[in-house]
A and B are shown apart, each in its own frame.
Chain A
Amino acid sequence: MPISNENIIVADDLTISYDLHRERKKLIALQDINLEIKKGEFVVLVGPSGCGKTSFINAVSGLIPKSGGSVKVRGEEVTAPGPDRAMVFQDYALLPWRTVESNIRLPYELQNLGISEEEKKQRVKNCLELVDLAGFEKSFPYELSGGMKQRVGIARALATNPDILLADEPFAAIDAMTREAMQAEMERIVMETGQTCVFITHSIDEAILLGDRVVVISYRPGKIKEIVNIDFPRPRMNNSEVKISKTYAELRDHIWNLVKDEAMQTTRGE
């Protein structure tokens, strides 16, 4: 599905800060973020560790309050999480007392999607196959490896077929090979369903391969440093032309330099 012209997520001078109670200070994690995301768009956020990427998608999901500006989803101010926005958590956030299958079913128990028991079963099964975890339905999270847990988190987010997918480094703990396969799946799903995706990654290659736009965020306070448009035709994942093209190398260099400057500041602690 092509990207529509309709804005689905709009951040307007969004500012997010955290109270540091110990020091009676306030840490501004994100400052004056202006970002319009169109329906069906794949937006990738990159930036050094601690720059506020997670904070941004938490604000879009409605998990944390904003301290200035606004985030709107479909024109409505975000105040709480909603069923239209699913999330893959950086720290997996699986319920340890539930099996893999039951964790993926959680959204069905909490939301009334009006789908039959049969279809739920089928969807859970599809999701499990999608993340290559068939056969582990009855395992508990503590019996899985880090990457497997992360894949359960992805399956859970995809289970309800959400309009907006907020993915916080969803492939960080997954090996390079599986990662490539899952990137391809992700691209396919987003193309097929017309989902809007806000995706966080530390991998510049992943950002260029998946994103329609790559948003580079600066370090402390987190501000949008630059937004890079990526115009490769889709599907890109199984297209060997993309990675060897000159544009790809240039984009890679460009984004790398942007992020590097910021990362240097991080290490110098400025």
Chain B
Amino acid sequence: MAKATEQIQYETDDPNRIQDVGWTFKEVWRRTRGFVVTSVNLIIFFILWEIVTTYGNINSLFLPKASAMFQELWVGMTTRAPEGAVFSGSILDHFLHSFTNLMTGLAIAMAIGIPGGLLMGGNKYVESILSPYVWALASLPRIALVPLFILFLGFTTTMQVTIIVISAVFPIVINAWAGVKTTEKSLLAAAKVFGANRVQLYYKVVLPYTLPFIISGIQQGIGRGLIGVVIAELFGGSNGLGYLIQRSADTFNTAMTFAVLLLLIVMSLSLINFTRWLEAKVAPWRNVNHL
């Protein structure tokens, strides 16, 4: 046992310990598999759709050809309304309107929701005062508030943004709040032992721990916000994708309706995938894939 320590010399910097995996076919496939499968799947879906609508006996009023939908989408996204037009037939114009509203609404919802949730999690007085209102409003179907907001604010952009904010803010508040509440006690203990004061405890432990919660709150907020956008525009207004759906359906332009629906799906999925990516980026420890 005399020379025990000398014998126990592990080579942690052995050059063979970490090996290059390299670009084998398997590796490339592993990384692109998801994308390839989804693309092929979708292409087959649209081809089948095209075949059924071309050779089947289907009224194009109910189901337009896939190609007609894409045509409509392409034209709509590449043209703008002429200067001074009262109503625009351009999908791009309406898309930009809705998208700007959604982003404004989300930004406001985050500006209210993140500090609000953090405060509720951090201070039990704020929590006990605000929580009944948060739960009450969060459990109320937000659509029920639309007529009220139209009454208050008229058919304005402000009304539309307000509905988006109301829709998106609660998942953000609740997630931030839960994140603070569930911060691991042992991490807080460690920070305290090593000298953290109250402020440091917040931005060195609670905030980083809560960040992925906030991001998934935003992710849910995007979904809700998008519902808010469409509902606000369906109910009132002469702008936006919701309005366009309404009008194209009224004018029996089903291809346009489908084009807008497709655009909504693409927009929603892109935003949600972006937040997923962001979540994985800021909190890699949360999705360790072995075990």
A interface residue numbers (CB < 8 A to B): 58, 61, 63, 80-83, 85-87, 89, 91, 93-97, 106-107, 109-111, 132-136, 140-142, 156, 160, 177-178, 180-181, 184, 237-240, 243
Contact = CB atoms under 8 A, between A and B. Distances in A.
A93 B195 contact: no
Contact of B204 (A94, A110, A240): A110
B12 A135 contact: yes
A178 B8 contact: yes
B193 interface: yes
Give the interface residue-count category, chain B: 20 to 34
B190 A93 contact: yes
A184 B4 contact: yes
B12 A132 contact: yes
Contacts of B112: none
Contacts of B4: 180-181, 184, 237-238
B285 A141 contact: yes
A89 B186 contact: yes
A27 B270 CA distance: 53
Main SS class of interface, A: loop
Given A142-B284, A181-B8, 18 more contacts: A81-B194, A87-B190, A93-B186, A93-B189, A93-B190, A95-B205, A97-B208, A97-B209, A106-B190, A106-B191, A133-B12, A142-B285, A160-B194, A181-B4, A181-B5, A239-B2, A240-B1, A240-B2
B194 A238 contact: no
Given A134-B12, A134-B13, A81 B195 contact: yes
Contact of B193 (A87, A109, A181): A87
Nearest to A91: B186
Interface string B252-291: 0000000000000000000000000000001111001000
Nearest to B190: A93
B2 A63 contact: no
B5 A81 contact: no
Nearest to A184: B5
Interface in B180-227: 184, 186-187, 189-196, 200, 204-205, 208-209
A111 B13 CA distance: 32
Given A133-B12, A177-B8, A106 B194 contact: yes
A134 B11 CA distance: 10
A141 B184 CA distance: 15
26 contacts: A89-B190, A93-B189, A93-B190, A95-B204, A95-B208, A97-B282, A97-B283, A106-B194, A107-B194, A107-B195, A109-B204, A110-B191, A110-B194, A110-B196, A110-B200, A135-B13, A135-B17, A136-B12, A140-B285, A142-B284, A142-B288, A178-B10, A181-B4, A238-B2, A238-B3, A239-B2
The 8 closest A-B pairs by CB, nearest first: A93-B190, A110-B195, A111-B195, A96-B285, A107-B194, A93-B186, A142-B285, A135-B12
Given A95-B205, A110-B204, A132 B190 contact: no
A177 B194 CA distance: 29
A89 B190 CA distance: 8
B195 to A, nearest CB: 4
A160 B192 CA distance: 14
Interface string B82-107: 00000000000000000000000000
Nearest to B200: A110
Listed residue (A61, A96, A134) with the most chain B CB atoms within 10 angstroms of its CB: A96
Given A135-B12, A136-B12, A63 B193 contact: yes
A140 B194 contact: no
B285 A93 contact: no
A22 B113 CA distance: 33
B8 A95 contact: no
Nearest to B13: A135
Contacts of B194: 81, 83, 86, 106-107, 110-111, 156, 160
Contacts of B10: 132, 178
